[in-house]
Amino acid sequence: MKKNSIVITVVVALIVAVAAFYGGMQYQQRQRFAGFRGGQNGQQFQGRGNFQGARPVNGEIISQDDKSITVKMQDGSSKIVILLDQTIINKASEGSKSDLKTGEKVAAFGTENSDGSITAQNISIGGMLRVRQ
């Protein structure tokens, strides 16, 4: 009888450990994708594409050239966003580089480079980004 109790206890402990591990994996998976539904401080974005590893940059364009824009962020810092030919630029409908104007509010999504700049996969202009303050 005592051996049966020990065996049952070990089996129950293994089942609990496996269930906890599985639950933790599911929780982590949900948290990873939650960042794309909404970021910190209620930031939301809409767009297309695969944003795995994407870093959002939100703020106002303070300078621009044909290959990049510089965005002043809410904390006062600035970030260079590199534009590629494949970068999708959204307004109410899909836009182009010529739609990026100094003073325009934007949200840029892309991968962060070693120098701190962002290579944009997608840029949303104006009303596409909702930020609650």
Query: 62 with 121, same domain?
Result: yes
Of 50, 38, 57, 60, which is closest to residue 130 (Cα–Cα)?
38
Query: 114 with 79, same domain?
Result: yes
Query: 53 with 27, same domain?
Result: no
Residue 45 lies in domain:
41-128
Domain assignment of residue 101, yes or no: yes
Using the CB atoms, write b or e for 57-87: b if 16+ within 10 Å.
bbbebeebeeebbbbeeeeeeebbbbbeeeb
The answer to whether residues 118 and 111 touch, using CB atoms and an 8 Å cutoff, is yes
Q: What is the pLDDT of residue 36?
A: 45
Domain assignment of residue 27, yes or no: yes
pLDDT tens digit sequence for 67-90? 999 999 889 999 999 999 988 887
How many structural domains are present in the chain? 2
What's this model's pTM, rounded to 2 decimal places?
A: 0.43
Query: 105 with 51, same domain?
Result: yes
pLDDT tens digit sequence for 41-68? 444 444 444 555 566 788 889 999 999 9
Domain assignment of residue 133, yes or no: no
